[in-house]
Chains A and B, each alone.
Chain A
């Protein structure tokens, strides 16, 4: 079975540009999570969805960040406008309905904002 698929794997952009990161969760998983990983702050939960509905976005840093899940097989995380401090690795993860805490992570999208 295919795991969680993220794109792009690497993105280099200039400050002020819009960035869109994409995620395809594992088929049949009801939960989708977006995490950000940096050296300074470690792994941070940004937002999570249950059955395509955003449940908790309290980790989203500010209004420049937005996330959508238009259907069960696709989610986006958008940053507009991007800033150098947004440089990080962004991970998408999914889990099944039983929700015991076992998350399946994608390989991440490494974002560099110049």
Chain B
């Protein structure tokens, strides 16, 4: 079975500051891990994914995430926040070799950017 826990339902940072959104996962099999972003009044779109290659994964818009098996974490970071990064971010997990139906989404973290 898989699950994800996103720490913090709301994160606020200043423009130009570091963004850190936390995600811890639980999986009984080697996982695939994902970050999705949802802008207001839109569907979710894939930001980045880990599928067992490099543990540091780079995504769109300057975001990256590092898979740390020892910590069962997959935190999302961006060195310098931009106003356009304001959105809701979802961490998700699925079991490697399992079907997409087993994708489990976290409860989401709303990111606000202060001018």
Contacts and interface: CB of A to CB of B under 8 A. Distances in A.
Interface of A: 4, 31, 33, 42-43, 45, 48, 50, 55-56, 91, 93, 95, 99-108
B49 A43 contact: no
Contacts of A106: 43
Interface in B77-115: 90, 92, 94, 99-101, 103, 105-108
A56 B106 CA distance: 20
Q: Which 4 A-B pairs have the closest CB atoms?
A: A105-B43, A101-B94, A43-B105, A105-B44
A68 to B, nearest CB: 18
A86 to B, nearest CB: 19
Contacts of B90: 43
Contacts of A93: 43-44
A55 B103 contact: no
Nearest to A96: B100
A85 B67 CA distance: 38
A101 B100 contact: yes
B45 interface: yes
Contacts of B49: 100-102
A111 to B, nearest CB: 14
B101 A102 contact: no
A107 B42 CA distance: 5
B61 interface: no
Contact of A42 (B43, B51, B108): B108
B46 interface: yes
Which of A4, A31, A50, A99 has most B Cβ within 10 Å? A99
Contacts of B44: 43, 91, 93, 103, 105
Contacts of B70: none
